[in-house]
Amino acid sequence: MENQATKTWKVLCIEDEPEMIDLVRLILERKDYEVIGVLGGEEGLEAIQRQKPDLVLLDIMMPDMDGWEVFRRIRANPELQDLPVIVVTAKAQSIDKVLGLYIAKVDDYVTKPFGPQNLLQSVESALAKKRGA
């Protein structure tokens, strides 16, 4: 039986670039996170239902459904309202960040390119909030 201290956190990475999923996997799996990568918003929403992740890393600019629409659908689902979502995007304008953090209320906003430490800190911080730490 797994307890919280030894729990492997499941992170779902919704991206349209396989290379970015590989990079996220490389960074997070070294710290014992389980990383599931999916391509695009539609597949991402299906994977959330199927995989029940502890946290979502969400790209904004995707061809099939943009990240804001994915985020809106996550928050519209009562079962998913507390699911931490970190936006990981190349949209680095401060207005985009303000919209994400203060208007949409995502858990964090990481801009590409990012350093491994930035991503890890963001993930750890969001999961600490989820744990109630």
Residue 46 belongs to domain with CATH number: 3.40.50.2300
Residue 2 inside a domain? The answer is no
Residue 46 inside a domain? The answer is yes
- Lowest-pLDDT range of 28-32, 44-48, 109-113: 109-113
pLDDT at 101: 66
Q: 114 phi and psi, to 5 degrees?
A: -125, 155
Q: Which whole number is the average pLDDT over 22-41?
A: 97
CB atoms within 10 A of CB 52: 12
In the predicted model, what is the mean pLDDT of the chain?
A: 89
Residue 3 inside a domain? The answer is no
- Of 109, 111, 53, which Cα lies nearest the Cα of 44? 53
Name all contacts of 103-111 with Cβ < 8 Å and 24+ positions apart.
104/68, 104/71, 106/58, 106/71, 110/86
Residue 71 inside a domain? The answer is yes
Number of domains in the chain: 1
Summarised one tens digit per residue, pLDDT across range 110-133 is 988 999 999 999 999 999 988 875
Give strand pairing partners of 35. 11
- Fill in the amino acid letter for 29: E
Residue 90 inside a domain? The answer is yes
DSSP code of residue 33 = -
Give the range of the structural domain holding residue 39, as residue numbers without chain letter.
8-128
Residues of the chain with pLDDT > 70, as a percent, come to: 88
Residue 77 inside a domain? The answer is yes
Residue 68 inside a domain? The answer is yes
What secondary structure does DSSP assign to 39-83, as a single string? Answer: ESHHHHHHHHHHH--SEEEE-S--SSS-HHHHHHHHHHSGGGTT-
Residue 59 pLDDT > 60, yes or no?
Answer: yes
Residue 99 inside a domain? The answer is yes
Residue 61 pLDDT > 50, yes or no?
Answer: yes
Q: Which whole number is the average pLDDT over 4-30?
A: 91
Higher pLDDT residue, 75 or 101?
Answer: 75
pLDDT at 104: 72
pLDDT at 3: 44
- For residues 86 and 55, the answer to whether their CB atoms sit within 8 Å is yes
Band of residue 7 on the pLDDT scale cut at 50, 70, 90:
confident
3-state DSSP helix/strand/coil percent for the chain, to nearest 5? 50, 20, 30
Q: What is the pTM of this model?
A: 0.89
